[in-house]
Structure 1
Amino acid sequence: MAFALLASHVPLKDIFLWSAIPAALCVGLALAIREPKAAPRTLRPSFDWRLRDMPPLFKRYLFVVALFTLGNSSNMFLLLRASELGVPQAQIPLLWAAVSAVAMLFSTPLSALSDRLGRVRLLIVGYVAYAVFYFAIGFLNTGGWMLFALFGFYGLFMAATEGVEKAFVADLAPTHRTGTAFGWFNLVTGIFLLPASIVFGWIYQSIAPWAAFLFSSSCALSAAMLLLFGVKEQVLLTKSRTPSGEGAT
């Protein structure tokens, strides 16, 4: 719809105003949802936000997430790069539509696959896909079908990581501290997202676009290596110490 409006020379201001309609529909649908009554708890855990009592494997995973997030700059840089490669303004929304379409199609099956193959394996695949995408788009010299294919490939990264990252947090956290674990996960990603875009933008403008994309690619590849040789080995060791591998992730 954004592509059709832009192609019809509708001003950007009006397009943003039209987007209020689906937003209002979402709010209305959300208000219509009725939450089921939760079962009464016999024992409420005491409030504790500290990280030091969390499992060591969870802390190691947070370090991996921080490293990856440092290279996970704003997606607006991708659209800026596409514009510099000659993609017309009206076609920019189609690039992101390609990302959304692939993520929509593969998010559920890939998340389900992580239940069988393991979270770490899927995260490694997703991080490597991110590294390949950023490396390729950094050294791409023109737009066209190759750029659309790369953006579709980027959707695989989103499908393989968005749900799996959070599922792995739930796997690693103690049952009574799941909320705290998600709080730390979001805190770490939130803290590192700001410097990620600042560093990327500085490299993009001061050195070259390819250098900025290479930086992000290197962060993702380093995070994948840490998952492979740090977190994954520890997960396997935990499983081997647990009878029949039950209760370990």
Structure 2
Amino acid sequence: MKIVIIGGTGLIGSKLALLLASRGHEVLQASPSRGVDAVTGEGLQPALVGADIVVDVSNSPSFEDKAVLHFFETGTRNLIAAAKQAGVRHCIALSIVGTDRLESSGYFRAKLAQERLIENSALAYTILRATQFFEFVGAIADSGRRDGAVHVSSQLMQPLLSDEVAEALADVTLGEPANGICEVAGPEAAPLADFVGRWLRKQGDASNIVAGPDVPYFGAPLALRTLVPDNGARIMPTRFDDWLGTMICPSC
């Protein structure tokens, strides 16, 4: 099968491409750097010629509210139109667990808009919502740095390894369309502050952590279970501490 990955040169796209190619499929890694831009439409239709499946793992270069909404709405509309013209039989998008529970976040609103466009497209589709990646915990810590401390929410999250996001996405890609939403998460739910604390200690960073339920997540307030999956999610095996154990401490 020919499979086109929109955002195919990024973190998840690159991993997914290797997995799909190893299973014997023709993979096209589409990205602006390779002449395919879903937002402008440049190169999109030629890339989808002969494609059986398209997977969208693209991400906005700007997280500003208007910019990210434009990115996902415009790119998704263009992709849907091109997929219909090409006769694509399965459209897959990677989204985020909690998308429909955090509409105070401009980024989550934009992802929800993307999901709804796909749901209403009349294409056979699957949306895979993933929890935060292990590799993103450092960015969560950095977003909360002020006054010499790290301020972070004490609400729950259930992150997973990016390699296992790609693994779950490969299985979804090669499966039958769900025409609905699936979820994937890591094996451990714990407060964001707990994951951030473990990550900081691994970096040799002794910054004080200020945790509380009202500390916002990138400007948006969280409820206890905003970022954890519902029952029925696929749970991947790698634990956060096992992943940390593979990292080299920069100060050691």
Report if TM-score (shorter chain) is over 0.5: no
Q: Please report the TM-score for the alignment, with normalisation by the length of structure 1.
A: 0.23
Greater C-alpha radius of gyration: 1
Q: Return the structure number with greater strand share.
A: 2
Q: Return the structure number with greater helix share.
A: 1
Q: Please report the TM-score for the alignment, with normalisation by the length of structure 2.
A: 0.22
- Structure with the greater relative contact order (CA < 8 A, sep ≥ 6): 1 or 2? 1
